[in-house]
Amino acid sequence: MQVTFRVDMNDEIVNASGVYVAGSFQDPAWVKDALEMLDGDGDGINTYTAAIVPGEYQFKFYNGDCGDACGETADFETPECGVSYGVGGWNRVLDIQGLTTDTTLSAVVYNACRLSNVSIDEALAASFDIFPNPAYDQVTIRLEEAFSPNFSVALTTLTGQRLQVIRDVRSQEVVLDLQGLTSGLYLFTLTPATAPPSPKNSLSNSLN
């Protein structure tokens, strides 16, 4: 399957040698200067699409082709964002176990455990309510009329694993079933049915 990695470099001085992604999904693993991420539209979001066998992997972004010296150094404190590799550093986690379709990961800020807020179209940034939050068995998303009807809702983990998709929603309110999910932070993405399948045409938010 195809997996698209996305990293927000707007807060960084991008190394002239490029931005890279590397991890245990490569063969051989962790070749740090092989997979260059490009910013084709100049929005500061660098991307790379790789063919990956479904499973669980660790990875990291690199600002430059100088190996470990150019890699992310942040301590990703929450389990949803990364894991320790045992020598004082952290890697990000990619969990695509059980997936069979291509997936695009949410853009994350380089060297930080937070999602990018770049490229949310102003026309999509309509107000909405989500309740209850924190949620347990289910959560309700209520949108303004300007954003509906006819949109889709996707619920994913922060590592990009898609847990639930509701398509062709034609009301201003949608309920997501959370039963069976472990406690943690999840991401939901709202996309109008009339919009092309692009990250610029989605509105994302987090759910505790």
Task: Give Cβ neighbours of residue 170 (< 8 Å, ≥ 6 apart).
Answer: 148, 149, 150
| CATH code, residues 122-207 | 2.60.40.3080
- pLDDT reported for residue 39: 95
* Consecutive 10-residue averages of pLDDT for the chain (208 residues): 93 96 96 96 93 94 95 77 79 86 86 72 57 82 64 75 79 83 78 52 46
What stretch(es) of the chain map to CATH 2.60.40.10?
2-109
CATH architecture designation of domain 2-109: Sandwich (2.60)
Strands (E), 35-148: 36-37, 45-51, 56-63, 82-84, 90-95, 103-104, 108-109, 128-131, 138-143
- pLDDT reported for residue 131: 83
One DSSP character per residue, 19-63 reads EEEEETTSSSTT-TTSSEEB-TTSSSEEEEEEE--SSEEEEEEEE
What stretch(es) of the chain map to CATH 2.60.40.3080?
122-207
- pLDDT reported for residue 96: 86
